[in-house]
Amino acid sequence: MSDKYDVIVIGAGPGGYVAAIKAAQLGLKTACIESWTDKEGKNRLGGTCLNVGCIPSKALLEISHKYEEASHGFADQGIIAKDVKMDIGKMMERKEGIVNQLTGGIGGLFKANGVTPIYGHGKLMANRKVEVTDKDGKTKTYEADNVIIATGSKPIQIPPAPFDGEHIVDSEGALEFTEVPKRLGVIGAGIIGLELGSVWARLGAEVTVLEAVDTFLPAIDQQVAKDALKQFQKQGLNIVLGARMTGAEVKRKLVNVTYEDAKGKQEAKFDKLIVAVGRRPYTDNLLSEDSGVQMDERGFIFVDDTCKTEAPGVWAVGDVVRGPMLAHKASEEGVMVAERIAGHKPQVNYDCIPNVVYTFPEVAWVGKTEEQLKAEGEEYNVGTFPFAANGRAMAANSATGMVKIIADAKTDRILGFHVVGPQASEIVAQGVIAMEFGSSAEDLALTCFAHPTLSESVHEAALGVAGGAIHIANRKKKK
């Protein structure tokens, strides 16, 4: 078989494997390079997302939520469950089983679509040549008409708390605890920190989350953020804002953490410390000096709106380029690039990419926040509806949070869609679809929603934009 391909994809995560499959479906001879290996040294497809990110973390979130509900939530519903226990080993087996099934499934999809997997570390050379070094150190060079870089990202390590793999860990290490830590510290109150903190708090850990900024989840709508913060605090998460970490030292199997907040210098001791302050592009040893691809000082690859780099025939998608580090964003870009290589002209709508925090309650949003619109001087109307007034949410013992819809004051076009509450990750899709089609709040208000459903809260929030909600008192609109 020739070592020349129409498309070579470097990286088999959500951006890479999707791009490879789509390219092959469009009739292009395609190969996908992946360096990931498991604990036994076996090759694994799926990248960070499937192996140590989205999928395993959601498995632990689901299992821990069921445990929490059985331990504390059943009694209110008349279900008596005594001596509920958690088998951490079994939980981890369940997580690994899901990961194995999904990563193996990608191999099956590659075979079904004619994608050639190549295992090893890929490095882009000049003129779209890719040098692959396998796990034994042997190298081989491949050529392609087009190369798609989709190498993803890795956790950021900060000087005050270097990872030791046992007591101070990154997000990957937090998925491998063999027992519930008595006291758990989390550095960073972002999506990853909140999710991992929630998992172990539900299983019995005393969790403290230290966040350097003074605002909780500053990137999201602050009405929603404040609601979410109250719920997390009720669950026992000790979230300390404005806490700048200054050091971490392991002594006698405890992590001694020092930080500064509004009250001055503080100290805390933890059995485990998770550092979740963000991720950086995984571009280590990825590009030769003459590859023609340019990066900024943080390692992000420069691309245009269609994910083209400055090097002819070279593209980059996902976490290695600008924009949010989200698996679904990477997949959308991967499909776009594959189709553009095949001669089509699709475009990713970056205004309609949803974000989700998979805690309980979940937090999800798409589009603009009130804070952004105020800063831009835009006029808008808002409709909100609490799940506390939703019959299905009450029946499910999940009546916390709200749906919030923001619409342009003149055109009524939906500008932002925000949810905190049960199944927010599913409900936000309704907002994404509406915004993708340029819907107005009135369009949703005139849509019939099944009763009783959580989605009726979307209907009521849409009605509320114009002051016409039925099942809650409407806020008086400013004249």
Residues forming the active site? 451
- Helix 191-202, helix 54-68: angle, nearest 10: 40
CA 424 from centroid of its chain's CA atoms: 14
Task: Specify the amino acid at residue 328.
Answer: H
User: Helices marked H in 303-390 — which ranges?
Assistant: 327-341, 370-376
Q: What 3-state DSSP class applies to 230?
A: helix
* Structural contact between residues 258 and 229, judged by C-beta atoms closer than 8 angstroms: no
Q: What 3-state DSSP class applies to 165?
A: coil
Helix H, strand E, coil C: the string for 416-436 is EEEEEECCHHHHHHHHHHHHH
Count of alpha carbons within 13 Å of 311, Cβ hemisphere only?
Answer: 24
C-beta atoms surrounding 126 within 10 Å: 11
Structure tokens at 133: 């070094």
Structure tokens at 347: 């475009």
Q: Characterize the bridge pairing of strands 402-408 and 183-187.
A: unpaired
CA-CA distance, 450 to 267, in Å (whole number)? 52
C-beta atoms surrounding 473 within 10 Å: 8
CA-CA distance, 321 to 12, in Å (whole number)? 16
CA-CA distance, 243 to 240, in Å (whole number)? 6
Omega of the bond leading into 452 within 30 degrees of 0 (cis): yes
- Cα angle: 163, vertex 168, 171; to 5 degrees: 80
CA-CA distance, 282 to 353, in Å (whole number)? 22
Phi, psi values for residue 304, rounded to 5°: -90, -170
- Tokens 């190498």: give the residue: 151
Helix (H) or strand (E) holding 255: strand 254-261
Helix/strand/coil percentages in the chain, nearest 5: 35, 25, 40
Burial 188-208 (b: 16+ CB within 10 A, else e): bbbbbbbbbbbbbbbbbbbbb
